[in-house]
């Protein structure tokens, strides 16, 4: 895929959705950090239901610590892996209070040092909360990047590095959200909706699905 085609892909995605953002509900960098940390193997809808119960009673590191491990478990028990997520969340809040005065760090190193926070979560926080041009690669973005031939790679790290290299600079900040939404609603896993895809003629996928 050449750069002209890549630029046209993002031009169309932007035209269709000028201001893309996460579907997680949040109103502060800390709330976003919590929501993303809870999202592993859970849907955004499920996470939003859990945080709708959690945030009214605890939406700061100190409030989470005060709620305690058992209290957090009770509130987020509808989520998969909730025991481990609650443990990481409380430990994360303790570290935020101890080392960062309760504030979410703005560096990758600071974020990745937090319990339960890996590179993908750090990328989401840097991008969505702090407007950094990072690209977090999840299963949707990995699929879209490989299927379209936009930024093929054998693993998420390869795809991330390729995207950072080939996405035009003026589209880089929002690329994460455009690609994840495209993968979630159009370029879906089992039967991509090629007939309603705004970039179908630019996509290099060989097995395009005709509309029913």
- Given a contact cutoff of 8 angstroms between Cβ atoms, the answer to whether 121 and 37 are in contact is yes
The ranges assigned to domains in the chain are 3-20+135-202, 29-130
Q: What is the pLDDT of residue 211?
A: 59
Q: What is the pLDDT of residue 208?
A: 83
Question: What's domain 29-130's superfamily in CATH?
Answer: Hypothetical protein; domain 2 (1.10.340.30)
Residue 93 annotated as part of some ligand binding site: no
Residue 203 annotated as part of some ligand binding site: yes
Average pLDDT, the chain: 95
C-alpha to C-alpha distance for 157 and 161, rounded to whole angstroms: 6
Q: What is the pLDDT of residue 207?
A: 86
**Active centre residues (catalytic):** 120, 138
3-20+135-202 has which CATH code? 1.10.1670.10
Q: What is the DSSP letter of 205?
A: -
> Which tokens go with 86?
């609650």
Each residue of 130-153: pLDDT tens digit?
999 999 999 999 999 999 999 999
Each residue of 100-112: pLDDT tens digit?
999 999 999 999 9
Q: What is the pLDDT of residue 209?
A: 78
Residues (pLDDT < 50) of the chain are: 212
Q: What is the pLDDT of residue 158?
A: 97
Q: What is the pLDDT of residue 63?
A: 98
Please spell the DSSP secondary structure of 16-71, one letter per residue: H-SS---SS--SSHHHHHHHHHH-TTS-HHHHHHHHHHHTTT--SHHHHHHHHHHH
Residue 197 annotated as part of some ligand binding site: yes
The interaxial angle of helices 3-16 and 172-185, nearest 10 deg, is: 70
């Amino acid at each position: 895929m050449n750069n002209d085609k890549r630029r046209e892909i993002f031009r169309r995605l932007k035209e269709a959705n000028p201001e893309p953002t996460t579907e997680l509900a949040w109103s502060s960098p800390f709330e976003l950090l919590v929501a993303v940390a809870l999202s592993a193997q859970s849907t955004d809808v499920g996470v939003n239901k859990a945080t709708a119960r959690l945030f009214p009673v605890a939406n700061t590191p100190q409030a989470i610590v005060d709620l305690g491990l058992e209290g957090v478990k009770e509130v987020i028990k509808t989520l998969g892996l909730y025991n481990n997520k609650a443990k990481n969340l409380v430990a994360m809040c303790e570290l935020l209070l101890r080392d960062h005065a309760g504030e979410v760090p703005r560096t990758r190193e600071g974020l990745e040092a937090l319990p339960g926070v890996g590179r993908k979560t750090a990328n989401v926080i840097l991008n969505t909360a702090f407007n950094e041009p990072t690209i977090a690669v999840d299963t949707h973005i990995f699929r879209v990047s490989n299927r379209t031939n936009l930024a093929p790679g054998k693993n998420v790290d390869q795809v991330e590095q390729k995207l950072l290299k080939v996405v035009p600079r003026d589209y880089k900040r929002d690329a994460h959200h455009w690609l994840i939404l495209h993968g979630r609603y159009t370029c879906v896993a089992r039967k991509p909706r090629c007939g309603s895809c705004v970039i179908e003629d630019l996509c290099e996928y060989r097995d395009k699905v005709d509309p029913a």
